[in-house]
Amino acid sequence: MHVLVTGAAGMIGRKFVERVARDGRIGKAPVERMTLTDVVPPTPPKAGFKTTARADDIAAQGIAEALVKDRPELILHLAAIVSGEAESDFEKGYRVNLDGTRRLLDAVRTTGDGYKPRFVFASSIAVFGAPFPETIPDEFHLTPLTSYGTQKAIGELLLADYTRRGFLDGVGLRFPTICVRPGAPNKAASGFFSNIIREPLAGKEVVLPVPETVRHTHASPRAAVNFLMHAASMDTTAIGPRRSLSMPGVCVTVGEQIAALERIAGAKAVKLIRREPDPVITRIVAGWPERFDPVRASKLGFKAESSFDDIVRAHVEDELGGKLA
């Protein structure tokens, strides 16, 4: 199988590629070739198959056609301008997230001649906007309140129509917040969800800008890779025409996150968390969805961690070699 991954230099893209390199297969299908693209050159993994790494502007004329020319049987479209930048740079967000996605879908469509790849699209819970019910059902309507969420919602609609038309076999995944994100603390409003776990585990102080009562849904990077693996290899006949699925996750309060950290790394880790309430971040976070009821995804076999303790342990195992500071 030939696999194309866009956004392959991103955190999830890299982890997916490393996992495929390690496994040598996706589901039951051996991987013979991977094409990796991103706006910066992705790092090719050590793998037992051929890999090609390219730096591309996916929204530029002819690029999408070049990417699908060799008819990859599986496409993972992870490339996107992230939420904050899509909000600050309106044209760039629409160009990459809408036009780039559409160009890739159209490159597949116009290939024709029986070409019908599995097309996995990374969507986001940002397709939903407040006001929310206490628990967001699979049938909640698309009500984005950001340009990023709008672009992802449009991607979902296109994916469903191109699938219905028989041009490709689409699966859209609405990722919950990914936690614990590895790497340096970033300035995303959601960064603290990861920071308050990752930094204390590394023996470093960290700021908590919101009350401990804030509730949110999380899945580990490992779970996110598992979602992609499953979407890439699952039997799609049971999905039906509604091709995008809210992924499962662990719904906890910040207080419950901290309690899990304490169970795993002790009171000394928790002491590194400094409470400095930030009214701006608290207000932004108040507009975010808290809890999902991803019945469809669960029935279709998507699995996340079952507790936040498991999420902390996944980070210790995957990023810290199993060792605590």
Residues 83-122 that bind a second copy (CB under 8 A): 90
Q: Show Cβ contacts of residue 304 under 8 Å, excluding neighbours closer than 6 positions.
A: 176, 219, 220, 223, 227, 247, 248, 249, 250
Tell the smallest beta-carbon distance from residue 241 to a second copy (Å): 6
Minimum distance of a second copy from residue 101's CB (angstroms): 12
In one letter, which amino acid is 126? A
DSSP-assigned letter for residue 2: E
Instruction: State which residue, 81 or 160, has the beta carbon closest to a second copy.
Output: 160
Which residue of 18, 140, 316, 324 would you call a contact of a second copy, by CB under 8 A?
A: 140
Cite the DSSP H helix spans in 43-100: 63-68, 83-88, 90-93
Question: Binding to a second copy by residue 147, rule CB under 8 A?
Answer: yes
Nearest approach in angstroms of CB 153 to a second copy is 5
Q: How many residues bind a second copy (CB under 8 A)?
A: 21
Closer residue to a second copy in complex, CB, 141/323: 141
Site string for a second copy, 151-180 (x = CB under 8 A): --xx--xx-xx--xx---------------
Rounded to an integer, what distance in angstroms lies between the CA atom of residue 105 and that of residue 119?
9
Residue of 28, 141, 187, 323 interacting with a second copy (CB under 8 A): 141
Which of 134, 139, 235, 276 is close enough to bind a second copy by CB under 8 A?
A: 139
Rounded to a whole number of angstroms, the minimum distance from the CB of residue 5 to a second copy is 26
* Per-residue x/- track, 234-263, a second copy (CB under 8 A): -------xx---------------------
Active-site annotation holds for 148: yes
Query: For 261, how many CA atoms within 13 A lie in the half-sphere containing its CB?
Result: 28
Which 281-320 positions form the footprint of a second copy (CB under 8 A)? none
**Are the CB atoms for 79 and 96 separated by under 8 Å?**
yes
Determine whether 91 is exposed, middle or buried from the number of CB atoms within 10 Å of its CB (0-12, 13-18, 19+).
exposed
Burial of 213 (0-12, 13-18, 19+ CB in 10 A): exposed
Contact assessment for residue 255 and residue 212, using Cβ atoms and an 8 Å cutoff: yes
Residue among 138, 125, 121 nearest 294 (CA):
138
Query: Longest Cα pair distance anywhere in the chain, in angstroms?
Result: 62
Binding site for a second copy (CB under 8 A): 90, 129, 139-145, 147, 150, 153-154, 157-158, 160-161, 164-165, 241-242
Active site amino acids: 148
